[in-house]
């Protein structure tokens, strides 16, 4: 799993980077908002840890721009801005979680695991091969529309013939006109 840290406090960014690498994450770091925005839009990550108060481009602007560009990568705001208004604003702007400084590394790690777990679950239904994208939830929906719900073999069939997977009835025949 690859994590992007966008944090201008170099010592803090380096400590987080080292801790995440010890947990076997691949970590990239941007020390200002301009580089962070470029990396978030152009280099694939599984999670972004994003400070708000950054030089050049602030974290809220980065968050809004990447969401507008269609970047769905989970974002954990990691910031000293700790008022309720700041937290609500960050979450309403598209952040998936919000952690205020100072924090314990164990809590950061738990939030990272939770966000990465959710993003993995969300990604499993989409298959991408080159320019082809297949959303398996849509495929499942269409199969049920055309073929009906899955049917399990009835219990009166002898045990060796039972198959542990679901099967659909035979495909209806439609006239083909070209």
Inter-CA distances, 78 with 71, 91, 110, 139, Å: 19, 12, 14, 38
Per the structure block, which two tokens stand in for 176?
């083909």
> How is 82-112 classified by DSSP, letter by letter?
-SHHHHHHHHHTT-SEEEESS--HHHHHHHH
Instruction: State both tokens at 165.
Output: 């997977």
| Span of 100-109, 134-143, 163-172 with lowest mean pLDDT | 163-172
Neighbours of 59 (CB within 10 A): 27
Is 2-124 a CATH 3.90.950.10 domain? no
pLDDT over threshold 80, residue 132: no
Do 6 and 54 contact (CB within 8 A), yes or no?
Answer: yes
CB 120 within 8 A of CB 112: no
Average pLDDT, the chain: 82
At residue 50, the 3 state secondary structure works out as strand
Region 29-57 average pLDDT:
95
| Residue-level pLDDT at 118 | 67
d(C-alpha 17, C-alpha 134), whole Å = 34
Express each pLDDT in 115-131 by its tens digit.
998 654 544 567 777 77
Tens digits of per-residue pLDDT, 149-175?
665 555 454 444 444 444 444 444 445
CB neighbourhood size of 28 (10 A):
17
Domain residue ranges in the chain: 2-124, 125-178
Where b means 16+ CB within 10 Å and e means fewer, 74-103 reads: bbbbbbebeeeebbebbeebbbbbbbeeee
37 to 66, 86, 164, 171: CA distances (angstroms): 8, 20, 48, 49
d(CA 2, CA 94) in angstroms, rounded, equals 20
- All residues at 6 or more sequence positions from 164 whose CB lies less than 8 Å from its CB, including other chains: none
């Amino acid at each position: 799993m690859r994590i992007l840290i966008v944090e201008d406090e170099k010592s803090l960014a380096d400590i987080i980077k080292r801790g995440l690498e010890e947990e076997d994450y691949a970590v990239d770091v941007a020390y200002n908002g301009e580089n962070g925005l470029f990396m978030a839009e152009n280099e694939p990550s599984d999670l972004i840890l994003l400070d708000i108060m950054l030089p050049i481009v602030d974290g809220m602007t980065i968050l809004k721009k990447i969401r507008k560009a269609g970047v769905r990568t989970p974002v954990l705001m990691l910031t000293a801005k700790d008022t309720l208004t700041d937290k609500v604003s960050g979450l309403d702007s598209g952040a998936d979680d919000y952690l205020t400084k100072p924090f314990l590394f164990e809590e950061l790690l738990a939030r990272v695991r939770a966000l990465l777990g959710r993003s993995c679950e969300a990604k499993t239904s989409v298959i991408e091969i080159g320019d082809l994208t297949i959303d398996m939830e849509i495929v499942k929906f269409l199969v049920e529309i055309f073929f009906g719900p899955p049917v399990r073999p009835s219990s009166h069939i002898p045990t060796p013939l039972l198959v542990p997977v679901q099967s659909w009835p035979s495909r209806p025949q439609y006239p083909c006109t070209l």
